Structure 1
Amino acid sequence: MMVFLYNEDKGGIFVKVLVIGGSYFLGRVLTMSLSKQWDMTLVNRGHYSMKDYGVLEYILDRHDLDAWQKLPKEDYDAVIDLCAYQKGDIQTVIQSFPGQIRHYILISTVDVYQRQTGLDKDEQHPLETRQFEGETGAYILGKVQLEQELQSLSKEYHIPYTILRPGNIYGPFNYAPRESVLIERAVKGWPLFSIKDAQCTFQLVYVKDVVSAIEKVVEKKAYNTIYNVINDEQVTYSIMNEILKTCQSDVSIEEHSLVEAIEQQYPLPYPIFQEEMESYNGQKIVQELGLSYTPLNVGLSKTYQAFYPVFSQNEKR
């Protein structure tokens, strides 16, 4: 039986974790948040050092079996895998890692679910079996295969697993061109567009809620289960615009058609069309582990505050 002790030095439960990734967006926020209470080791390619947060870092390519085998023989209460994308990624870790893994946590995605079923997708919803073209198709197929791979290896090696399926994550340090492109427009005084013929809503999840979900599944030892991590709140471009206007009161909001928005090269990082609309249920983790979701108006405002110094340096009003 695994028992966690109280860590007097760090003011929390003593947990020794190995994070695969840990320096970009979700991983960065995870490290910044939980290194204060956990004993954390990061394995990544070394693009962004996190040593200032008191973590141990090993730089390696996750596909390099020899590099894994050369790591010190350490035992970990949990491995948190943030960057497994293709079949075999988890097998490489479990078969090559010299120490003991007591709990393997895979960060997957709600994109693994079958599309356009018209149902609210909880954790029992069927997974996608179709092969889509391009990078998106490869990403979805990879995550589906990795979930199956982890469940199989869990039985073979007697390692408890947890699969987390976040929705579209937003928040500080997200430099992917999603919410940040809208925040940049607000900061620089460029108008925000309300797309009058947009046909769908979408769902988001604040990055710190995903970090909290990881913390809960580790510390509460939520073994051999799967959780969606996504806010039920239905979002539109207009809703995001109104929140950003509360942050930047002088920004203008203009109504445009989708054709006009495309002609003016307006950024459209979120779904627009009815056929893109999907509905996900993120309540299982709320009911079982007590996770609470940050309202969009709170999370987006905090994200705006985080990005403001970045975009205000070259502000053009």
Structure 2
Amino acid sequence: MRVLVTGGNRYIGLELVRLLAATGHEVTVINSHDVPLPAGVRRIHADRRIPGAFTAALAPVRDDFDAVFDNTAFVPADLEPVMDLFRGRVRHYVFTSSQAVYRRSFVQPVREDFRRHAADDDDPRKAYGVGKVRCEDLLATAWQQDGFPATWLRVGHTMGPRSPQPTRDPFFFARLEAGRPLLIPGAGHATLSLVHIHDVARLMVALLGNPNVYGQGYNVAGAECASLVGVIELIGRATGLRPRVVHVPEEIARAQRPPLVHWGEALTGTAILSIEKALRDLDWRPQYGIEAGYRDAWTWWTREGHLQYTFDYRAEDALLEQLSA
């Protein structure tokens, strides 16, 4: 198929581009950052943050694609102009959403029919998830009213090479290498789901062009879950470095900015994503467990990743001093 990928220059998007190219698809990416891409991949330069830039760049080639993977839309204002451009032209529009759409649930695992945040929730702490909810609603309405062939993917916490966020794998690798303690809120017993970016990309390719998944949302997570302290122990096994964990009282942890760890479950409680629907509907099964996923990311880190990030430990040192007083 002729596939357009928004982003496609790092992390999940780049993994997707590589897999699409390797499986024989004709791939075009649109982004604002030039990075090495597989042979034969076409690149269009445009910055989505500039109003009108995306649609202006895509309008001349709007008939060139059978499918779109939209990885860089966060609110309807990002999404709607691109949808309008490809309405009636593409056979599949796949939107990358997030597990952040879900409200806290006391029942686990979290299935696709569980409650999401209200689309009119104006709590700034939920802005990312609410933006994704609004995008999903826009796509669902377009499918119901016009047959717009959309699917949305609620991706869970990720691991793997080339994280654009230093708060993911690089956060732990850098501290383990430096022999620093890892500060976590409370006992660290809350459980979370993790998925390797290659398994996310594999699921994306697996559903491409399948009319049975139009108008549907899917959780995307790995087959394994673990508590916060369990994940840290598995990272230690993957790296061969023994983690030294410091448990920070929750009332102190809640006041820290930025948070001690980027997983919200550390303070809000367990969130395990069900992938039963994806396993039932798609020819897909996760390949990476948690330890294997971090081992793959560690290989990248030791080869080149450690050169790409810097960390400031002053706030952590001040907190450690406070805790020892």
TM-score by length of structure 1 reads 0.82
Give 1:105's match in structure 2, choosing from 76, 86, 94: 94
| Deviates most, 209-218 or 152-161 | 152-161
Offset at residue 19 of structure 1 (A): 1.0
Once the two structures are superposed, residues 14-49 of structure 1 have per-residue CA deviations (whole angstroms, 9 ceiling, x without a partner) of x111111111211111112222221011122x2233
What is the correspondence of 1:28-39 to structure 2 with a 5 Å cutoff? Answer: 28-36=14-22, 37-39=24-26
Cα deviation, residue 172, structure 1? 0.6
Higher helix share: 2
Select 2:121's aligned residue among 131, 135, 151: 131
SS at match of 1:143: helix
Q: 1:20–1:80: 8 Å Cα contact kept in structure 2?
A: yes
SS of equivalent residue, structure 1 residue 18: strand
Cα deviations across residues 105-133 of structure 1 (Å, max 9, x unaligned)?
Answer: 11111211222343432111122116253
| Matching residue within 166, 176, 183 for 1:186 | 176
Is the contact made by 1:154 and 1:160 (CA closer than 8 Å) also made in structure 2?
yes
- Structure 1 CA distance for aligned equivalents of residues 68 and 207 of structure 2: 12
Change (3 A) 1:98 1:238: closer
Preserved CA contact (<8 Å) 2:45 2:57 = no
Structure 1: gaps (5+ residues): 1-14
SS at match of 1:235: strand
Q: 1:27 matched to which residue of 2?
A: 13
Question: Secondary structure of 2:72's partner?
Answer: coil
1:18 and 2:11 equivalent? no
1:153 shift after superposition: 2.1
Given candidates 135, 146, 170, the residue that maps to 1:146 is 135
- 1:23-172 to 2 correspondence within 5 Å? 23-36=9-22, 37-44=24-31, 46-62=32-48, 63-64=51-52, 67-68=56-57, 70-97=59-86, 100-129=89-118, 131=121, 133-134=123-124, 136-172=125-161
Unaligned runs of 5+ in 2: 310-325
Once residues 122 and 108 of structure 2 are traced to their aligned partners in structure 1, the CA distance between those partners, rounded to angstroms, is 21
Could you tell me which residue of structure 2 aligns to residue 241 of structure 1? 232
Q: Tell me the matched-pair count.
A: 297
Residue 308 (1) aligns with residue 299 (2)? no
- Partners of 1:165 and 1:228 within 8 A in 2: yes
Q: What is the distance in 1 between the residues matched to 2:162 and 2:259?
A: 22
**CA–CA distance in 2 between the matches of 1:194 and 1:84?**
31
Asked if the contact 1:201/1:271 (under 8 Å) is kept, the reply is no
